[in-house]
Amino acid sequence: MKRIAVYCGSATPADPRYMEFAREVGRSLAERGIGIVYGGGRLGLMGAVASSALAAGGEVIGVIPDALASAEVANTDCTQLIKVGGMHERKQTFTDLCDGFLTIPGGVGTMDELWEAMSWAQLGYHSKPVGLLNAFGFYDHLIVFNRHMAEVGFVRPAHQNILIAADTLSELLELMASHRPHTPIFAMTADDL
């Protein structure tokens, strides 16, 4: 993978472990020669990922909606800062520019990005790996909920492994690198559905 879209929070939690973790992710990706495509902000975990990757000599492409850029939260230090009209265009640009998706802790916006990457993979809009880095057990309940959706029957067997979760970046990147695309809904017949 040459570039990964990193989804994470723009907030700064009171617990300093989250910011240090974000810095570690940015630095580690840059040291591995993996470019970052992210939300283009300078605040919170977003800013920490970007600044540490840039400090380590990495490529960082920010994609930010005009409304947020004009609110002075844009990170103008990025290798490239792309301004877009809105959130749909932002997520399409992430998808176009990356070879996979990596989600670290975040809030509602981060969940929107993660679930859309999973939904688009399920449908067949992309066949890229969707990774979830479960730092400090932050996503334990989400992983259980994702499994529950499958057990109840809301996620087809062919799509139950779209979400690739791990507790360490090294393990997650290995799993993402060995990702094999599944059969998307667009390629299924009515009998398969």
| Full DSSP string of 96-164 | HH-S-EEE-S--HHHHHHHHHHHHHHHHTS----EEEE-GGGTTHHHHHHHHHHHHHTSS-GGGTTSEE
Residue 67: in which H helix or E strand, if any? helix 66-70
For the chain, the structural domain boundaries read 3-187
What is the rounded distance in angstroms from the CA atom of residue 61 to the CA atom of residue 30? 12
The pTM (predicted TM-score) of the whole model is: 0.95
Average of pLDDT values for 63-91?
93
Q: pLDDT tens across 11-60, in order? A: 999 999 999 999 999 999 999 999 999 999 999 999 999 999 999 999 99
Residue 162 has pLDDT above 80, yes or no: yes
Q: 3-187: what CATH class? A: alpha beta
